[in-house]
């Protein structure tokens, strides 16, 4: 769908220079002299490259709509990860490098994820905002210690290191934010 450059907003996906770009910043400028234009910062969805582009307000750009589908994570298949479409039950394999080494530890069997695709080609993967993990290793609890601002290091069941309150001990379940890797709260 072609749109005017003066309607570009952050979060939109554009097809430009033979690639797909997600807009990270867009500022619209109307100088006193000359025509209005849009300064657009974008990131390539496939390569991660950044782009700074200036579009005149009368320029037309191609806006792309990504298809979002629910998938379930099934298992690790060596170099790839296997996901199943929740509607059609079709399985797809995604390269570990594409998913991201920092996100793989949060994947749990049966976990629901959203995979964005363009023309049947996966473009992005969205994890749930928070996951429940078990504390498998931490320093012993010190009696009388309160939930002050001091946190202690712990190792979660997925192998990541997380800082937890000093009163928590091994075997407790915690909620961790998947985007930052930080402790959120004790799990119910």
pLDDT (tens digit per residue) in 148-164: 568 889 999 988 999 99
State residue 149's pLDDT score.
Answer: 64
Q: Which residues contact 160 (CB under 8 A, 6 or more apart)?
A: 105, 133, 176, 181
pLDDT (tens digit per residue) in 76-120: 988 999 999 999 999 999 988 888 888 899 999 999 999 988 888
pLDDT (tens digit per residue) in 49-88: 898 999 988 889 999 888 889 999 999 988 999 999 999 9
Q: Which residues contact 17 (CB under 8 A, 6 or more apart)?
A: 51
- Given a cut of 90, whether residue 184 has pLDDT beyond it is yes
Q: Which residues contact 18 (CB under 8 A, 6 or more apart)?
A: none
**pTM exceeds 0.85, yes or no:** no
Q: What's the order of all strands across the beta sheet hosting 112-118?
A: 91-95, 80-85, 67-77, 112-118, 121-126
DSSP string, 132-153: EEEEEEEPPPPTT--S-S--EE
Q: Which residues contact 100 (CB under 8 A, 6 or more apart)?
A: none
45: left (phi over 0), alpha (psi -120 to 50) or beta: alpha
């Amino acid at each position: 769908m072609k749109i005017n450059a003066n309607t570009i907003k952050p979060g939109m996906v554009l097809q430009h220079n033979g690639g797909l770009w997600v807009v990270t910043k867009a500022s619209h400028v109307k100088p006193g002299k000359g025509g209005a234009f849009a300064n657009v910062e974008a990131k390539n969805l496939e390569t991660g490259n950044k782009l700074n582009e200036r579009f005149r307000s009368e320029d037309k750009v191609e806006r792309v709509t990504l298809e979002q589908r629910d998938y379930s994570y099934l298992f690790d298949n060596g170099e790839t990860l296997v996901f199943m479409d929740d509607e059609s039950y079709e399985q797809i394999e995604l390269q570990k490098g594409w998913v991201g080494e920092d996100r793989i530890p949060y994947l749990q069997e049966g976990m629901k994820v959203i995979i964005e695709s363009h023309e049947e080609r996966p473009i992005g993967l969205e994890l749930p905002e928070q996951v429940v993990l078990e504390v498998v290793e931490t320093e012993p609890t010190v009696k009388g210690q309160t939930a002050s601002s001091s946190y202690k290091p712990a190792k979660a069941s997925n192998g990541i290191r997380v800082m937890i309150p000093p009163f928590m001990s091994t075997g407790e379940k915690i909620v961790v934010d998947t985007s930052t890797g930080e402790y959120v709260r004790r799990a119910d």
